[in-house]
Amino acid sequence: MSGRWFHPRGSLARDGWETVVDGTIEGWEHTGLRVARLAAGEGLPLEPGAEKLVVPLAGSFSVRVTEDGDERTIELAGRASVFDGPTDVLYLSAAATAVLSGEGRVAVATSPTDEIRPTRRIAATETPVELRGAGASSRQVHNFGTPQALDAARFIVCEVITPAENWSSYPPHKHDEHTPGHESRLEEIYYFETAPSRVGGGRGTAEASFGMFSTYSSPAGEIDINAQVRTGDVALVPYGYHGPAVAAPGYDLYYLNVMAGPDAERVWLISDDPAHAWVRETWDGQEFDSRLPYTTDENKEG
């Protein structure tokens, strides 16, 4: 069952992309993701018919956008890695055609829709940065694609940085049932990256870096993922309780989340697993992890 919903790096490669998640996957309908490594001079087309969010993972990119008969090029300054703070991102309307070029690794979140929202560049400095949890459950969230930050038609997109030894996506929670004001129906993509911890003194290698991720069944359906995750791996959560996502000692963990569902309202409402919901109360009075937030400037300081 985990083989259906967990995909190691490269196993979803297609059409010049290292990863393609879309409606061709059985049981998948509302969200999509494309990930590529581009070299200088390369370009990849982005077709209309879905709203998109271009997220530089490492490197800088240009997007040549054609929409309503006009053509313009939008520059995304990017970052050295996903552990270097927020990045510029670009929301592309479902009517836009584009060509993506640059040098580095880039992700494109998608959701099929015919609703048109304005194409918009969100600068790194505009991105809401949230510290969530406390203590060993501290993590950093970049909310560039949430309803509070972005006027999108369907999807909710954010990224999470979890320092070495910390727990994230915890307590385990679900969003697979429509309960107005309490829970929304959202399928979810997790795209992972890992790296030696920035406070590890330079030891460890990118190839050895890893974290752990778990998903288990709810009344909405049976699912079982208990996997080591590394850079480029993808977990799909159509339903079920998901979490924790754990950063192994010595290694930092990143994931990009893409969520959308059939509900009329674009909102993220969750239900904790009742067996573990009490853990949130233990955070009261605890400080955030002193290593957070991770920023580009901090990295430059060494």
Q: How confident is the model at residue 298 (pLDDT cuts 50, 70, 90)?
A: very low
Among residues 259, 211, 202, 205, the alpha carbon closest in space to that of 232 is found at 211
Mean pLDDT, rounded, for 123-144: 97
Helix count and strand count (H, E) for the chain: 2, 23
Domain boundaries, the chain: 2-281
Query: Is the C-alpha dihedral spanning 182, 191, 169, 157 positive or negative?
Result: negative
Whether the CB-CB separation of 87 and 80 falls below 8 Å is answered with no
CATH architecture classification, 2-281: Sandwich (2.60)
- Rounded to two decimals, the pTM is 0.96
Q: What is the pLDDT of residues 184-232, one digit of tens each?
A: 999 999 999 999 998 876 689 999 999 999 999 999 999 999 999 999 9
Q: Which two tokens stand for residue 279?
A: 């853990």
Q: If you average pLDDT over every residue of the chain, what do you get? A: 95
Q: How confident is the model at residue 11 (pLDDT cuts 50, 70, 90)?
A: very high
